[in-house]
């Protein structure tokens, strides 16, 4: 008996406070008090008290009655995503998309706006704060209901501080305290990450939540990757994990990258690199338009870019063994050509065990990936055990 009890205790998730118990309910499935008592191993009275706290905070709500084999059917409770809202902000070089979402990242109000990241943090974050306030009003929610803000920036971000670190296309932003500046405007916690990481998070949560090991690759003006391993976004020690744009492509010795090194993937295979190499195109969007119009030279150039990206991804596949590679960013809009090029090289250059069940596909969330991921990042913070414990205290 003692053995069995010890085993049960080891198997039971470590659940101490209301915040921990809430994590069990985040999947949205209704549960009874008895269900929660059984899973947590806590007394019914303890569970009942915690349910009351979470109900009072609005985080869970009654979800009808469970079926009963006799007597009065027990009440069930489920996560109430509309309890609070978060703001997702996806900042690009020349545009921004903001979305106000509920706690399940369902979009309640959204705005696309042109802006120039080169205007610097002052004017750009002013615009973000003003637009965020408009979205709150539009959705009929008060500023006090904002539980957090997630921001994606088009450059390297030190994850612990949320500060951009020598971002090449963002003059004036180096070391800018984005969380403090926006936190003062919104009076809510602000989390900042690079655009590729939030896209990876958004695509993973919205399109492939059950895929535990996924590599998201953005191919646009630049190239970068976001790593989902064991179900979570992995940022590395400083936040620069997945920065594959400046990995050297094997065999290229004559192309100098803007970073000063020779043969970087970004200098050879990004949307901008392809646009510069083709006749009559100046932007990645021009390349996509040509491919869609059936232009042979453009299609071949995109396919070759896919092969070059594949050469670098083959190494990533060996290191990380993802079960899925998702290609996003504007060049993914060129259709199958880029994916075909990537598949060609990755399958040829990786060991069979790594590629046996590897799927290589284009992203499903398209231009929404960034705001969805920014929202998910803010939600994860707002609904963490610690944050929920503080909220109900
Ligand atoms: Zn480079």
pLDDT in tens, 144-192: 999 999 999 999 999 899 999 988 889 999 999 999 999 999 999 999 9
Model confidence at 374: pLDDT above 70 = yes
Phi-psi region of 375 (alpha: psi -120 to 50; beta: other; left: phi over 0): alpha
In the reported structure, the alpha carbon of residue 372 is separated from the centroid of ligand 1 by a whole-number distance in angstroms of 29
Model confidence at 11: pLDDT above 90 = no
- What is the per-residue pLDDT for 14? 58
In the reported structure, the alpha carbon of residue 70 is separated from the centroid of ligand 1 by a whole-number distance in angstroms of 69
In the reported structure, the alpha carbon of residue 257 is separated from the centroid of ligand 1 by a whole-number distance in angstroms of 5
Q: Above pLDDT 70, what percent of the chain? A: 96
Place 218 in a pLDDT band, splitting at 50, 70 and 90: very high
- C-beta separation of 76 from 65 below 8 A: yes
Nearest Cα to 154, choosing from 194, 95, 126, 201? 194
Residue bearing the bigger pLDDT, 211 or 354 = 211
Distance set, CA 151 to CA 95, 172, 174, 268, 377 (Å): 14, 17, 16, 29, 9
- What is the per-residue pLDDT for 1? 44
Find the range with the poorest average confidence among 89-93, 238-242, 380-384.
238-242
Model confidence at 13: pLDDT above 90 = no
In the reported structure, the alpha carbon of residue 255 is separated from the centroid of ligand 1 by a whole-number distance in angstroms of 10
Q: Whole-model pTM?
A: 0.91
In the reported structure, the alpha carbon of residue 276 is separated from the centroid of ligand 1 by a whole-number distance in angstroms of 16
In the reported structure, the alpha carbon of residue 245 is separated from the centroid of ligand 1 by a whole-number distance in angstroms of 7
In the reported structure, the alpha carbon of residue 263 is separated from the centroid of ligand 1 by a whole-number distance in angstroms of 7
The per-residue pLDDT for range 23-43, each reduced to its tens digit, is 999 999 999 999 999 999 999
- What is the per-residue pLDDT for 335? 84
Average pLDDT, the chain: 93
């Amino acid at each position: 008996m003692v053995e069995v009890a010890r085993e049960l205790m080891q198997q039971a998730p470590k659940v101490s406070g209301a915040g921990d118990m809430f994590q069990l309910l985040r999947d949205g499935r209704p549960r009874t008090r008895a269900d929660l008592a059984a899973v947590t191993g806590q007394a019914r009275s303890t569970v009942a008290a915690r349910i009351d706290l979470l109900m009072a905070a609005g985080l869970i709500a009654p979800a009808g009655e469970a079926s009963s084999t006799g007597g009065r059917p027990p009440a069930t409770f489920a996560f109430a995503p509309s309890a609070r809202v978060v703001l997702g902000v996806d900042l690009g070089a020349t545009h921004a998309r903001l979305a106000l979402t509920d706690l399940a990242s369902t979009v309640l109000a959204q705005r696309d706006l042109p802006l120039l990241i080169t205007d610097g943090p002052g004017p750009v974050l002013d615009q973000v704060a003003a637009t965020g306030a408009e979205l709150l009003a539009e959705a009929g929610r008060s500023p006090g209901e904002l539980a957090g803000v997630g921001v994606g920036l088009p450059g390297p971000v030190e994850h612990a501080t949320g500060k951009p670190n020598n971002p090449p296309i963002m003059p004036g932003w180096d070391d800018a305290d984005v969380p403090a500046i926006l936190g003062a405007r919104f009076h809510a916690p602000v989390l900042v990450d690079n655009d590729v990481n939030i896209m990876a998070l958004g695509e993973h949560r919205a399109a492939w939540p059950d895929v535990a090991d996924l590599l998201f690759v953005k191919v646009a003006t630049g190239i970068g990757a976001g790593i989902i391993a064991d179900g979570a976004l992995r940022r590395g020690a400083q936040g620069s994990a997945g920065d594959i744009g400046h990995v050297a492509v094997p065999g290229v010795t004559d192309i100098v990258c803007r970073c000063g090194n020779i043969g970087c993937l970004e200098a050879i295979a990004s949307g901008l690199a392809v646009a510069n190499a083709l006749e009559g195109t100046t932007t990645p969007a021009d390349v996509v338009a040509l491919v869609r119009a059936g232009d042979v030279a453009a299609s071949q150039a995109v396919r070759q870019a896919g092969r070059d990206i594949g050469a670098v991804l083959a190494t990533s596949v060996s290191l990380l063994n993802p079960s899925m590679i998702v290609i996003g960013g504007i060049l993914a809009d060129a259709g199958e050509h880029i994916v075909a090029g990537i598949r060609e090289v990755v399958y040829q250059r990786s060991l069979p065990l790594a590629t046996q069940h590897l799927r290589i596909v284009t992203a499903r969330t398209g231009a929404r990936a960034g705001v969805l991921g920014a929202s998910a990042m803010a939600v994860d913070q707002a609904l963490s055990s610690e944050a929920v414990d503080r909220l109900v205290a």
